[in-house]
Structure 1
Amino acid sequence: MLWSMSICLVSFIFLFLMALFMVMMGFYFIMNDMVVFIEWEIFSLNSSSLVMTFLFDWMSLLFMGFVLFISSLVIFYSEEYMYGDLVIDRFILLVLMFVLSMMFLIISPNLISILLGWDGLGLVSYCLVIYYQNVKSYSAGMLTALSNRIGDVALLMAIAWMLNFGSWNYIYYLDVMKNSLVMSVMTGLVVLAAMTKSAQIPFSSWLPAAMAAPTPVSALVHSSTLVTAGVYLLIRFNSVIVDNKLGKMLLLISGLTMFMAGLGANFEYDLKKIIALSTLSQLGLMMSILAMGFPKLAFFHLLTHALFKALLFMCAGSVIHNMKNSQDIRFMGGLCMQMPLTIICFNVSNLALCGMPFLAGFYSKDLILEIVSLSYLNLFSFFLYFFSTGLTVCYSLRLVYYAMTGDFNSTPFHPLNDESWIMLKGMVTLMIMAIVGGCMLSWVVFPSPSMICLPVWLKTLALTVSLLGGWLGYKLAKFSLSCNLQMLKFYLMSSFIGSMWFMPFISTYGVNYMPLMLGKYVYKSFDQGWSEDWGGQMIYNTSVKYSGIVQWWQNNSIKMYLISFVLWFIILLMLLL
């Protein structure tokens, strides 16, 4: 156990110091408007050389700093959360491999090295999702891996398409891609890859399924690593997709994803799945503002979201830990009396998610909604933005009502307490960042102030829909029994909304089950059927038959051959005469 504790501590210290260094370097680069390319020639043979290229600018350095900071706190948190695990060193090494893959993805201006990080994330995430070895985890891991393979294949095809340029350093060719009709194919492939990784419709079902992983992994995956990889890739490719039909399509799909996730979370009772659906909703928000051509805003929200979402998952993990692994919010209640410090952190992160003024989420979310109000946008997309914002506050208040207030709904003899000091240290550190991180980042990312002039009703629209959504969420939760009985009258509608528009069924059967069954039938019909019967098996049976005749012929004595030869000779003569 000493080794496992030491690996947690050493990993935490190393990652934390690296995070501080990266953030400081990011601030230095943004102040001095610097970009550094590093080309490392791995080996050279005759005139061919294998070169690894790294891109360090303020965006990659800040993002790496945030990923390393959250990873360090998650590893520190895991020391207590995963205390009973006999192979915690394996868990920590998997998390470190995960972080390393994300680093590769962030600093690569080259599609080949991006694929290394991209596939590394996919493979290690599969290992982490199936970490608790049971049938449900295996199914979730397979759904995650196969859904992400679609994006991996799209990225491989984009790499093949890049051969038209003679180099895979996409960063040099963005302007050419923008003006080239042929290269719009490659842009489409990159958008498809980003949609699978960031779980946009119709690839959304893997994201709640990935909740089968341990909670520290969920905190890392859903804040700053796996699901944000697609958003980060599109931030780099943003100049290509803005004035394009792909941008309009992405705006519609991401808006619908945001709306679908917000609706689904209001029908969900699993604590981790509610938070996962809120991640999906925020990813839709980032993608939609990207499609409108504001990559800096999307990046700003990506960083602030990473802070409060990691904290939200850590608090949920602490609650689940104390509830003896129960995740159903209907069994909770009155937690603010039993675990006050954890619930303070939980509520701060929840309010930051809702866009409570002067918390981290407010600075990015409110700015995004004001820019949307200021932009030239159709009514449907405008409705999706603001209605989804209201739904976010709705499911957050519903969660607070079920879990924090009222009476405790589980067994009377319960072990709820706030004595998990190691977990609390990690959570309090993140809570401080979730409070002050937004304003600090806004000063750095947007150093020159900008005035957004809107009418009063449009300026206060975000606040109005948030208050309305909160009120509705509280009321629906308060009268939950009568509401649930009323919903039985609309069973098909509520099951449709509550099951993410039947996407898990479509994904499970359409993406996984049907192709595998088709493969089985093709294999049995062709490889083990006609091709076998007319191919290998037929050759084998024919050979056996004729070799038997030859064997029988050779087993007889020479006298029999002579007699048969004479008889045949006589018969032939008689026929001729």
Structure 2
Amino acid sequence: MLKFNYYFYWGFILLITSFYFFYNSLMFISNDSSIFLEWKIIEINSLNIYYLILLDWISCLFISVVLFISSMVVFYSMNYMGLYSYSSNRFLFLVILFVLSMLLMIISPNLLSILLGWDGLGLVSYCLVIYYNSMKSYLAGLITCLTNRLGDIGLLISISWMMSFGSWHFMFYLDYLEYNLFYLVIISSFTKSAQIPFSTWLPAAMAAPTPVSSLVHSSTLVTAGVYLLIRFFNFYVYQNFFFLFLSILTMFMSSFCANYEFDLKKIIALSTLSQLGLMMSSLFMGLVNLSFFHLLTHAMFKSLLFLCAGIFIYYMNDNQDIRVMGSVCNSMPFTTSCFNISNLALCGIPFLSGFYSKDMIVEFMMMQYSGLIFYLIFFICLGLTCSYSFRLFYYSMLINSKFKSHMLFSEEKNVMKLSIFFLTIFSVFFGCMTLWLMLIDLFFLIFPLYMKIMPLVCVIFGFLIGYQITELSSFLFNMSYYLFTNMWFMFSYSYYLYMIFYSFSYNYKNSLNWGEFYGSMGVSFYLLKISNLMQYYSMNNIKIMFLSFLIWFMVII
């Protein structure tokens, strides 16, 4: 029997819906309008619970980007996850659930219904991270889930706090809400967007399949926190040096740690963390539109980066170590060129999509003089981003291949190449296109020449440092190696989560099999046991059956 190709149909539906929302966002921008839909769910005396949907240019544009990337990821998964494997449809529907949770969060201006999407993201991301059912996946899923639940506490408290304002429609109360309520929402968003000190779950979530990593780390889970803060934007609360310092520190730490990593997916995850730090810091400097703009452009090239990395892993016998990769460009020229374009967009090379948002954020930061330390760290982070990007390029493209000498791998003409091709086009053109459409923060910036070319100089300087790091590896890695490979020892805090997890078992060997007893395998195991018991019971002496029937009859009466 021929199985129905769900991947193709779902990918096509997501793509068409994405274009429809993009058209709507253009209409909202040109008419300067928005649509507010209200559906009354329940009315008890004076308590009314409404479900609200807000469609304006921000939500429609973001939905269109999320759906476009999801459609590309679904097409890509058709080859990557195997179309007719045992669990391929389960994977697809988990991804669709994940995207729906994100859409619920994006279109809602009500704190209560935001929690619906917010919790949906946390729950489905746990299912996706533990998809491969290994011990590493279980632990990574546990950290991801528990850290995200920690952020939900702030949201739940702010929901109960907002009851005193008479409604959960926070859009109408942004100028009247308590400062502490904003701080609770900011802390919740910090856990979702993995800022310091909640950063450890982001590299751990790399245990998920690569298409999921592409979706999670570009436009859905990690950007949910940033998007919520954009919606909650209040200029007087957000001009906060403490949160600005935390987000810049996250940016600095993740850029530095990426220079020490050898796992391909972890390097890209840490670069995501550094870009999230950039979005958060621009938010806390009051540049709300620019932060949203960078959110969109970053989603495009970061999803492309992950999908190209997935193709490398797919053809190179599931290898993720960049030291073994070398000279991939000879065997996979198309994927390599797409990978390098997304890397250059990440560095902010002029006229690629990353340049427009990144360069504007840096220039506004120069205008709003916020202190010499912030100024320096910003430029150091620019250099470090290019440094790890060049290091990645050097290890994967320039040096000779250190893989098995008799391995022969080459690209096939499949759907994976098609999806990265479309994402590459958007990685090049999306930045300038969106800048023209959105008309962001039209301020007239005048700089002397040396300040104008300062970001570009830092980028070139970063490339040179990246090349030097590859040469000086032994000296650099002896110094403070453990500090930077363990994300400034932040991972040690999650040791306590491990201990809760291990306390149920007597030793390590027993704890390896916990998923076989309590997870989905455990449920099927116990169902089998119960059905065997029922069968044994029904085939036994008829007196026992009548006696149990009498007992249950008495209980019911």
TM superposition score normalised by structure 1: 0.85
CA distance in 2, matches of 1:496, 1:295: 34
Question: AA paired with 1:455?
Answer: P
| Distance change (3 Å), C-alpha of 1:2 and 1:215 | farther
Identify which of 171, 192, 203 aligns with 1:208: 203
| Aligned match of 1:255 | 248
Aligned positions, number? 505
| Aligned match of 1:267 | 260
Query: Over residues 407-447 of structure 1, what are the superposed CA-to-partner deviations in whole Å (9 max), with x where a residue is unaligned?
Result: 11110122421115210000000000001100000001116
CA distance in 2, matches of 1:186, 1:448: 28
Between the two proteins, what is the percent identity of the paired residues? 49
| Distance change (3 Å), C-alpha of 1:2 and 1:87 | farther
1:348 aligns with 2:341: yes
CA distance in 1, matches of 2:47, 2:490: 47
| Aligned match of 1:229 | 224
Give 1:148-297 correspondences, 5 Å limit.
Answer: 148-177=148-177, 183-239=178-234, 242-244=235-237, 247-297=240-290
Question: AA paired with 1:398?
Answer: R
1:499 aligns with 2:498: no
- Contact in 2 for aligned 1:19/1:65 (Cα 8 Å): yes
| Aligned match of 1:536 | none
| Aligned match of 1:33 | 32
SS of the equivalent of 1:383 reads helix
- Contact in 2 for aligned 1:323/1:415 (Cα 8 Å): no
Give, in angstroms, the shift of residue 471 of structure 1: 0.7
CA distance in 1, matches of 2:112, 2:265: 34
CA distance in 1, matches of 2:180, 2:500: 26
1:318 aligns with 2:311: yes
SS of the equivalent of 1:407 reads coil
| Aligned match of 1:557 | none
Give, in angstroms, the shift of residue 488 of structure 1: 5.3
Give, in angstroms, the shift of residue 45 of structure 1: 5.1
1:412 aligns with 2:405: yes
SS of the equivalent of 1:42 reads strand
1:59 aligns with 2:58: yes
| Aligned match of 2:79 | 80
- Contact in 2 for aligned 1:30/1:58 (Cα 8 Å): yes
Give, in angstroms, the shift of residue 286 of structure 1: 0.1
| Distance change (3 Å), C-alpha of 1:108 and 1:334 | same
CA distance in 2, matches of 1:26, 1:452: 28
Q: Name stretches of at least 5 consecutive residues in structure 1 with no aligned partner.
A: 178-182, 521-577
1:427 aligns with 2:423: no
SS of the equivalent of 1:260 reads helix
Give, in angstroms, the shift of residue 475 of structure 1: 2.2
- Contact in 2 for aligned 1:188/1:246 (Cα 8 Å): no
SS of the equivalent of 2:451 reads helix
Query: Over residues 89-126 of structure 1, what are the superposed CA-to-partner deviations in whole Å (9 max), with x where a residue is unaligned?
Result: 00000000000000010011111100000000000000
CA distance in 2, matches of 1:436, 1:288: 25
Query: Over residues 472-510 of structure 1, what are the superposed CA-to-partner deviations in whole Å (9 max), with x where a residue is unaligned?
Result: 101221x2xxx33323542xx22102221011122x224
Give 1:453-532 correspondences, 5 Å limit.
Answer: 453-477=446-470, 479=471, 483-487=472-476, 489-490=478-479, 493-506=480-493, 508-510=494-496, 512-513=497-498
- Contact in 1 for aligned 2:174/2:233 (Cα 8 Å): no
| Aligned match of 1:545 | none
| Aligned match of 2:124 | 124
CA distance in 2, matches of 1:108, 1:468: 44
- Contact in 1 for aligned 2:182/2:237 (Cα 8 Å): no
| Aligned match of 1:558 | none
CA distance in 2, matches of 1:295, 1:196: 20
Farther off after superposition, 246-255 or 157-166: 246-255
CA distance in 2, matches of 1:97, 1:44: 29
| Aligned match of 1:528 | none
- Contact in 1 for aligned 2:289/2:441 (Cα 8 Å): no
CA distance in 1, matches of 2:236, 2:25: 29
Query: Over residues 354-403 of structure 1, what are the superposed CA-to-partner deviations in whole Å (9 max), with x where a residue is unaligned?
Result: 00110000010011111111112111111121110100000000000000
Identify which of 444, 447, 464 aligns with 2:437: 444
Give, in angstroms, the shift of residue 3 of structure 1: 3.2
CA distance in 2, matches of 1:78, 1:517: 34
CA distance in 1, matches of 2:468, 2:498: 41
SS of the equivalent of 2:488 reads coil
Query: Over residues 38-93 of structure 1, what are the superposed CA-to-partner deviations in whole Å (9 max), with x where a residue is unaligned?
Result: 00123445664431011111000000000000000100000000017321100000
Give, in angstroms, the shift of residue 451 of structure 1: 2.4
| Aligned match of 2:6 | 7
- Contact in 2 for aligned 1:263/1:498 (Cα 8 Å): no
CA distance in 1, matches of 2:503, 2:137: 24
Question: AA paired with 1:502?
Answer: F
CA distance in 2, matches of 1:173, 1:46: 23
| Aligned match of 2:67 | 68
- Contact in 2 for aligned 1:152/1:193 (Cα 8 Å): yes
Question: AA paired with 1:452?
Answer: L
| Distance change (3 Å), C-alpha of 1:455 and 1:519 | farther
Question: AA paired with 1:10?
Answer: Y
| Aligned match of 1:549 | none
CA distance in 1, matches of 2:370, 2:280: 15
Give, in angstroms, the shift of residue 170 of structure 1: 0.7
| Aligned match of 1:363 | 356
Question: AA paired with 1:301?
Answer: H
CA distance in 2, matches of 1:294, 1:94: 35
CA distance in 2, matches of 1:194, 1:25: 28
Query: Over residues 140-181 of structure 1, what are the superposed CA-to-partner deviations in whole Å (9 max), with x where a residue is unaligned?
Result: 00000011111011111111111110111111100112xxxx
CA distance in 2, matches of 1:130, 1:447: 40
SS of the equivalent of 1:38 reads strand
SS of the equivalent of 1:174 reads coil
CA distance in 2, matches of 1:81, 1:402: 24
- Contact in 1 for aligned 2:290/2:440 (Cα 8 Å): no
| Aligned match of 1:562 | none
| Distance change (3 Å), C-alpha of 1:282 and 1:46 | same
| Distance change (3 Å), C-alpha of 1:123 and 1:448 | closer
- Contact in 1 for aligned 2:469/2:476 (Cα 8 Å): no
SS of the equivalent of 1:41 reads strand
SS of the equivalent of 1:39 reads strand
Identify which of 326, 331, 342 aligns with 1:338: 331
SS of the equivalent of 1:273 reads helix
| Aligned match of 1:541 | none
Say which one has the larger Rg: 1
Farther off after superposition, 77-86 or 298-307: 77-86
- Contact in 2 for aligned 1:36/1:55 (Cα 8 Å): yes
Query: Over residues 301-344 of structure 1, what are the superposed CA-to-partner deviations in whole Å (9 max), with x where a residue is unaligned?
Result: 00000000000000000000011111000000001111000001
CA distance in 2, matches of 1:402, 1:51: 55
SS of the equivalent of 1:417 reads coil
| Distance change (3 Å), C-alpha of 1:199 and 1:2 | farther
| Distance change (3 Å), C-alpha of 1:311 and 1:517 | closer
